Amino acid sequence: MSGSIQAPAIDARGITRVYKAKPKDVTALAGIDLEVAPGEFFGLLGPNGAGKTTLIKILTTLLLPSAGTARIFGFDVATETRKIRRIMNMVAGGEQSGYGILEAREQLWMFSQFYGLGAREGWRRVDELIDAVGLAEQRNQRVSTLSTGQRQKMNFARGLLNDPWVFFLDEPTLGLDVSAARSVRELIVGWRAAVPGRTVLLTTHYMAEADELCERIAIVDRGRILAIGSPAELKRRVQRESIFRLELDRLAGGPGGLARLPGVVSAVAALNAPADPDAPVRQAVVINLVLREDSALAGVVAALDGLGAHIVALAKSEPSLEDVFVELVGRGFDDNEEAARSNEVPVEPHEAGQPDPEEKR
C-alpha cells in the first residue's frame, strides 16, 4: 500500500515495544491503537515513563516497534521511512541540541539542504522561518550562545523546513519559562491554523497544555491508552455531580445549613483563595457545593436569602484532566515527579497541572 492524503495522518495498530534492559526487559508500549485524522491536533498525555517518547520515536522512524504496524499518511514506518521523513518532522523539548560552532542561520541552512531544498531556496526559507519563529536578532549568532528558549525556537524552525504534513512534538515546552513556553505554543497553533490539514501530535505531561491545545487527547500510562476523547468528553466521564464554587459575603451558621437542603450532596467551606492574589482581602466565605444536579442550585439560592447571605461570585467547577487521570489510574499524575520539577525552570502555576480544579467562567 502506498501513501495518500486521504489516509489517516497516523494509523497505529497494536504497537508494542519492549526494550532489552539489564535487570529485566521493559515494556514501554503494550499494544497501542491510534488513529489521527489529517488536520487534527492530537495530544498524548501521560506521566513520566508512560511511553510517549517511545511512541513518537516509532512514528518518526527513529525506532522500530517490537510488534504491530504504524502508517503515516499510509506509509509504513518500518519500510517506507524515506517517504515518511519527507512529509513529517519532529521537535523534542528539554534538550540542549545544536552545533554550537555554527551560526543559527547556517545550521538551519544545512538542514534545508538535507531536506532537498536548493541552495538559494534554502536561504530564503531559512530567513523566512527565522522571522516566523522570532529569532531575527539571533540569526547570525552562534548556536552555542543561544538561550534554551532561543534554541527551541531554532529547533522549531528546523522542524518546519519541509513544511511537514504531520508535526511530532515531544514535550516541546519542557524546561522553558512562562513566556518562552507561551510563544512556542502560539507558534504551533499559528502554524497549524495557517493551512487546513496540518496535523500535530504533541506529547506532554502538562495537563493545561494538553487541554488548551489539543482537539483530542489520549491518556496513556504504562504503555497503554486508557482513554481517548476531546478534553470535554474526557472530563464529562468523571463528572457525575455538579460542583459549584460559591462565594458569599457572610454566612450565618456556617455551610452546614446548606448541606441539609434537598439535592445538595455536600457543602464545605473552601480555603479562602481568591482567584486574583492581588485583590484586596475580603471577608468572604467560599463554599464548595456539590449538587446531585444543576437544578438543585435554585433551592440553594432561594435559601441563601433566609440565611442573610448575598452571593459575591458563583462559578461552576469543571473537573480537570487530572481528575480524569486519577479516576482512570487510581493515582495522581505528578506523584513521582515533584522532586524533578523543583529543579526546573519555574513554570506557570497554570501549567504545572495543579491538582485543584480549574475553574471556567
Ligand X SMILES: Nc1ncnc2c1ncn2[C@@H]1O[C@H](COP(=O)(O)OP(=O)(O)OP(=O)(O)O)[C@@H](O)[C@H]1O
Question: Which residues in this chain contact Mg ion in the complex, by CB under 5 A?
Answer: 53
Instruction: Find where cell 448575598 sits.
Output: 310
97's contact among other proteins, Mg ion, ligand X, none, with CB below 5 to 8 A by partner kind, is other proteins
Cβ distance 162 to 82 under 8 Å?
A: no
Take residue 343 and report the three cell numbers written for it: 529543579
By CB under 8 A, residue 26 contacts other proteins: no
Residue 153 site contact among Mg ion, ligand X, other proteins, none (CB < 5 to 8 Å, cut-off depends on kind): none
DSSP string, 38-57: TT-EEEEE--TTSSHHHHHH
Q: Nearer Cβ to ligand X, position 153 or 205? A: 205
| Of residues 192 and 205, the one with the C-beta less far from other proteins | 192
Among 37, 62, 303, 352, binds other proteins (CB under 8 A): 62
What pairing do the DSSP bridges indicate for beta strands 10-19 and 26-36?
antiparallel
- Minimum CB–partner distance for residue 342 and other proteins (Å): 18
Binding residue (CB under 8 A) for other proteins from 45, 126, 160, 213: 160
Tell me how far apart the alpha carbons of residues 61 and 82 are, in angstroms, rounded to a whole number: 9
197: three-class secondary structure by DSSP? coil
195 binds, among other proteins, Mg ion, ligand X, none (CB under 5 to 8 A by kind): other proteins
200 vs 185: CA distance, rounded Å:
12
Q: What are phi and psi of 27, to 5 degrees?
A: -90, 105
Q: Closest separation between CB of residue 68 and other proteins, Å? A: 14
Q: How far is the CB of 191 from other proteins (least distance, A)?
A: 5
Q: Spell out the residues 6+ positions from residue 254 whose beta carbon is closer than 8 angstroms to its own.
A: 269
Greatest extent of the chain over all pairs of C-alpha atoms, in Å: 79
Supply the DSSP string of 97-159, one letter for each residue. Answer: -S-TTSBHHHHHHHHHHHTT--HHHHHHHHHHHHHHHT-GGGTTSBGGGS-HHHHHHHHHHHH
Query: Measured from the CB of residue 106, what is the shortest distance to Mg ion in angstroms?
Result: 29
- Cβ(223)–Cβ(66) below 8 Å: no
What the block records as the C-alpha cell of 185 is 505554543
From Mg ion, other proteins, ligand X, none, interface partner of 205 (C-beta below 5 to 8 A by class):
ligand X
- Which range in 126-134, 237-245, 317-325, 333-341 contacts other proteins by CB under 8 A? 126-134
Q: DSSP for 292-312?
A: SSGGGHHHHHHHHHHTT--EE
Any contact of residue 163 with other proteins (CB under 8 A)? yes
The answer to whether residue 113 forms part of the interface with other proteins (CB under 8 A) is: yes
CA pair distance 300, 259, nearest whole angstrom: 9
Under DSSP, the state recorded for 222 is: T
User: How near is the Cβ of 122 to other proteins at its closest, in Å?
Assistant: 9
Out of 186, 249, 294, 335, the residue judged to bind other proteins by CB under 8 A: 186
> From the CB of 89, what's the least distance to ligand X, in Å?
18
Query: Is residue 147 at the binding interface for other proteins, with CB under 8 A as the rule?
Result: no
Our finding on whether 132 is near other proteins (CB under 8 A) is: yes
Asked if 58 contacts 45 with a C-beta cutoff of 8 angstroms, the reply is no
23: contact with other proteins by CB under 8 A? no
Closest distance between ligand X and the C-beta of residue 4, in Å?
29
Interface with other proteins, residue 131, by CB under 8 A = yes
Alpha carbon distance 54, 60 (integer Å): 10
Does position 96 bind other proteins by CB under 8 A? yes
Q: Which stretch binds other proteins (CB under 8 A): 52-60, 221-229, 278-286, 345-353?
A: 52-60
Can you give the binding site for ligand X, defined by CB under 6 A? 19, 21, 26, 28, 46, 48-54, 205
Residue 78 has which C-alpha cell? 518500518
Q: Which residues of this protein are in contact with other proteins, per CB under 8 A? A: 3-5, 19-20, 54, 57, 60-64, 73, 75, 82-90, 92, 95-102, 106-107, 109-111, 113-116, 119, 128-129, 131-132, 158, 160, 162-163, 165, 186-187, 190-191, 194-197
